[in-house]
Amino acid sequence: MSADEIIRYVLSFLGGGLVAAIGNWLHATVAARREREASYLEQQLRSLYGPLSFFATQNEQLFKLGGQIHHEYSAFFKGPWSPDPETHRQLSQEMSATIELSNEYVNRVTQNNMRVMEILEQNWHLADLEDAEVFARFQLDHARFVTEVREERRKNVPFPILEALV
């Protein structure tokens, strides 16, 4: 075998190894990128979208229950009131108890929304850009609820102004 043939074989061997090395490097790079994407998506689901879905679904069920209570309240307490003071007092107590039950479910929704705010504040970096407007609207509505309703800051604000803010 001549020196030229040996050089060609060595270059051929090294060239094949180089192609294999480049192929392995490309495969490892793509696999690492996919692993990072999968890890990020898993973190999004565990830390942001999973908990948000849980609380949103729970709130939906609580609102549905509140609507049922309101419907049953209207159906049960509709009609003429008896002039009997004892009956009137008994019905007033039952009406109040029914309203309080409904309010308890609304309070649960309020507690859930506080948790949703904590989740959004702690995991904002995991939110998809497409959801930014929805999350911003939720945060605004929540801030208004806390400020205007819970802290009763809208007591002396004229109704037309409050109506215009909707």
User: Is residue 100 in a domain?
Assistant: yes
Other Cβ atoms within 10 Å of 99 Cβ, number: 13
User: Is residue 148 in a domain?
Assistant: no
User: Is residue 88 in a domain?
Assistant: yes
Tens digits of per-residue pLDDT, 99-152? 999 999 999 999 999 999 999 999 999 999 999 999 999 999 999 999 988 888
Q: How far is CA 32 from CA 21, 40, 45, 88, in A?
A: 16, 12, 20, 73
User: Is residue 152 in a domain?
Assistant: no
User: Is residue 11 in a domain?
Assistant: no
- What is the full DSSP assignment across 106-161? HHHHHHHHHHHHHHHHHSGGGS-GGGHHHHHHHHHHHHHIIIIIIS-TTTTS-HHH
Tens digits of per-residue pLDDT, 73-82? 988 887 666 6
pLDDT of residue 62: 97
Please state the domain count of the chain: 1
- Domain carrying residue 117: 45-127
